[in-house]
Structure 1
Amino acid sequence: MNTIVSRFWPEWNGTLTKRSGGWNNTTYFVEQDDRRAVLRIYDTHKDQEKIRFEHAVLQQLALQDLPFMIPVPVPVVTGDTLVRLEEREGKFACMFRYIAGDSPAEQDPGFYESFGDAAGSLTAALADVDPGLPAVYRPYYELSTNYPLCSREAVAGLYSNPPEGLEGLLPELKVLVEAYEGIAGSLEQLERLPHQLVHGDLNASNLLVSAQDGAKVTALLDFEFCTRDVRAMEAAVILSGMLCHAEEERIIRDFWRGYSRTITLSTEEIAAIPVLILLRKVDVFLHFLTRYLEGTDEVNVLQEQIVLLAADIVQMSGEAGGERQGGVLR
């Protein structure tokens, strides 16, 4: 690891601490005296074009006067912002400037209005960003392109002929398979909604709050999945993470109060929010199913996600297919 750090920080002779959590990357805090940085190793892909797009977006955002911090890539001596790690099977690594702050407690409802403010400001800022590179990740609604291993037939087969380890989750699998089938007919309609760059994965794990004021969001992190997609998808992804929260209705109202100070969605976009939330849930399911099929995760990881996602979808159906969320937004 010392060799990797020295490529970004040649004079470094400090400490390296691995950060817990994260499904797609390995992250380390790098320190020496009063200087800090964050080292990221991309574990689930070796596609440098995805990383270059992410870094181009961040560099463009860094030129704007944002009311929150974002990661800023640190270049190596050659000026590039990523390095190939031949010693790690060709994986890529990059380093970002350190951003002070705390991770919020997900069950703490106090930061959601500030989260809405920050998300709205980011949506407005991303509308003006031109990274000069084609987006690599496809929109959420292109499920068949995004998850070639997860055809409708393959997903249906999970329920009709579940693999070892999933036999005890037939009710949950039925919910997810039906959600996948149900969403398929709505995908073409989503293509007609306004599009722009979106972060695509904003949630409590990808933001920081002030150490002095836990209700104040100070940074938005992890732009790895940034792409061009339905504009309203940004809000839908965030709202999808609020399902089953003990104070769900309150935090949705708080978030939307902050978000709508900057962004006004059209009637069509607001009407599509329940479908987009369901799409996010199906997408997460297919993401972890793909990781399982590729051998990245053991079956216990997929089991956990199946239970959580099915519960969220049942929660949505219990609210008349999302009418409660739509009512709150109005």
Structure 2
Amino acid sequence: MNLGVVFVAIDLDAQIYAALEQYFDDGKWNVDANESGVNNTTRFVSYGNYKFVMRIYENHADLDKVRFEYSILQKLQLSKLPFQIPKPVRALNGEYYTLMPTGKISILFEYLEGTRAVLTDKGHVTSIGSAMGALVTALAYINVGLEAAYEPYYDLYEIHPLVTREKLTEWLLSMQEGQYKKEAMLLETEINNLLNNLSNLKQLPVQLVHSDLVASNVLTKEDEVSAVLDFEFVTPDLRAMDAAVFINELIRYHSDRWELLEAFIKGYAETADLNTAEIKALPQLILLRSIVLCIHFLGRQWAGIDPPNDSEPYLDSFVKVHKWISLNQERILKLCYLCFEQEVSE
């Protein structure tokens, strides 16, 4: 199986060198690996007194997806956001991306100051909530006139080209024959519940959303959000989905820290809104994030990007989130109704 993209086996350093030659013609740059994201390869580049960040796309080699992301960033630069967003640098040929010898796409961004947000820091989480609300509000007014690069979260069989309905069904059945029997059965049940409730979900407000606004995609300075990163997955989706994504992360890593969840929701409510129907749907949307992570990383595993069985931790995580929601659904709904000044839904 493959994604229809053939990448030539070339040393990564040689690829990066070839890409940077398309930005600087004298070879006087330095590259630092430092850190890298889950989905893409990241390198930090210094050139004279300037610093940049290079992203090498590993999920795809689709220029339409890159064009959509770039158009969103261009439009958002005109919005009066209280934080910075990535700014692509034009190559010597005037393009805002480069094609590497392997066929992979890379983009060089201006370096943004700040340190990664800390998910256990209540002040950071409050600021993330407020920043997310401001971003969601700004994205509601963005229209780039291009076809969206990704489908909404609830389009489960469009998440990864290798994970079709048939293949996912086969995988779930195979997992039910091994040590992950209970987990796979629960995942199958919740997928069916979601599909049965789609008509109701599709009545909720829809707009452009970030889709992956987690702590690792946020920079902070002096305890305030200074930048929001990684707009690769921006797409029209349910407005409440960004909030659901971050709450999901809090549950996955710090399920016992209710004060963090409360801080995030209060911060978000300062700059954005959720209506009664959105709040009622929030538990299912939080769980949807975990379902999508299972499918996304299963696809990466089948594509050979990730090692075998790399999707199993996400299956464990799905079960953890499901259990938390079962125990805390009423409490989180009451908190949201209060913070967003909505009447309690029956």
Could you say whether these structures have the same fold, taking a TM-score greater than 0.5 normalized by the shorter chain as the test?
yes
Of 161, 179, 184, which residue of structure 2 is paired with 1:173?
A: 184
Letter of the structure 2 residue corresponding to residue 328 of structure 1: L
| CA displacement 1:160-182 (0-9 Å, x = unmatched) | 3239xx93322322332222222
Q: How many aligned residue pairs are there?
A: 321
CA drift at 1:75: 0.9
Q: State whether residues 38 and 98 of structure 1, in contact with CA within 8 Å, keep that contact through their aligned partners in structure 2.
A: yes
CA contact (8 A) 1:71 1:221 kept: yes
Larger deviation, residues 166-175 vs 18-27: 166-175
Alpha-carbon distance, 1:99 to partner? 0.3
Give the match for residue 103 of structure 1: 116
Q: Which residue of 2 aligns with 1:41?
A: 56
Q: Which moved more, 1:187-196 or 1:68-77?
A: 187-196
Q: Is the CA contact 1:173–1:310 (under 8 Å) kept in the aligned structure 2?
A: no
Indicate the SS of the match to 1:282. helix
The amino acid that maps onto 1:121 is A
Deviation at 1:186, TM superposition (A): 1.4
Deviations 1:227-251 (A, max 9, x none): 1111111111111111151553211
- For structure 1, which segment, 179-188 or 220-229, has the greater mean C-alpha deviation from structure 2 after superposition? 179-188
Q: For residue 23 of structure 1, what is the amino acid of its counterpart?
A: V
Separation in 2 of the partners of 1:10 and 1:180?
A: 52
Q: Structure 1 stretch 145-154 or stretch 244-253: which is displaced more?
A: 145-154
Q: Aligned partners of 1:25 and 1:224: how far apart in 2?
A: 10
Q: 2:120 touches 2:260 (CA, 8 Å); kept in 1?
A: no
What fraction of aligned residue pairs are identical, expressed as a percent? Answer: 35
User: Which one of the candidate residues 212, 218, 240 is aligned to 1:207?
Assistant: 218
> Could you say if the C-alpha distance between residues 247 and 216 of structure 1 is closer, same or farther in structure 2, counting changes exceeding 3 Å?
farther
* 1:66 and 2:81 correspond: yes
2:7 corresponds in structure 1 to none
* SS of match in other structure, 1:75: coil
CA shift for structure 1 position 109? 2.9
Residues 5, 39 of structure 1: 8 Å contact kept: no
- Residue number in structure 2 paired with 1:236: 244
1:298 to 290, 295, 307: 307
- Paired residues for 1:104-253 under 5 Å: 104-147=117-160, 149-152=162-165, 154-162=167-175, 167-210=178-221, 213=222, 215-244=223-252, 245=254, 247-253=256-262
Q: Which digits, 9 at most, give the CA deviation of each residue in 1:170-229, with x for residues without a partner?
A: 23223322222222211222111111111010001111111xx2x311110000000111
Specify every segment of 5 or more residues in structure 1 that has no aligned partner in the other structure, as ranges: none
Mapped to 1, the partners of 2:216 and 2:125 lie a distance apart of 13
User: Which residue of 305, 308, 320 maps to 1:311?
Assistant: 320
Structure 2: distance between partners of 1:160 and 1:78:
51
Gaps of 5+ in 2: 1-15, 338-346
Distance 1:20 1:173, change over 3 A: farther
Residue 13 of structure 2: aligned partner: none
Give the letter for the 1:273 counterpart: L
TM-score (norm 2): 0.87
Is 1:13 the counterpart of 2:28 in the alignment? yes
Deviation digits for residues 109-129 of structure 1 (CA, Å, limit 9, x no counterpart): 331110011001101111121
Shift of 1:54: 0.3
How many angstroms apart in 1 are the aligned matches of 2:148 and 2:173? 36
Distance 1:247 1:209, change over 3 A: farther
- Once structures 1 and 2 are overlaid, which stretch shifts more, 243-252 or 58-67? 243-252
Residue 175 of structure 2 aligns with an amino acid whose one-letter code is: P
Q: Which letter does structure 2 place at the counterpart of 1:50? A: K
Output the CA distance in 2 between the equivalents of 1:167 and 1:20. 35
1:280-313: CA deviation from partner (whole Å, max 9, x where unpaired): 1111111111112222222242122222222222
**Higher deviation after alignment, 228-237 or 307-316:** 307-316
Residues 274 and 323, structure 1, Cα contact 8 Å, conserved in 2: no
Q: Which residue of 2 aligns with 1:328?
A: 335
Q: CA RMSD in A?
A: 2.0
2:343 corresponds to: none
Distance 1:301 1:20 in 2: 20
Q: Is the 8 A contact 1:19 1:26 kept in 2?
A: no
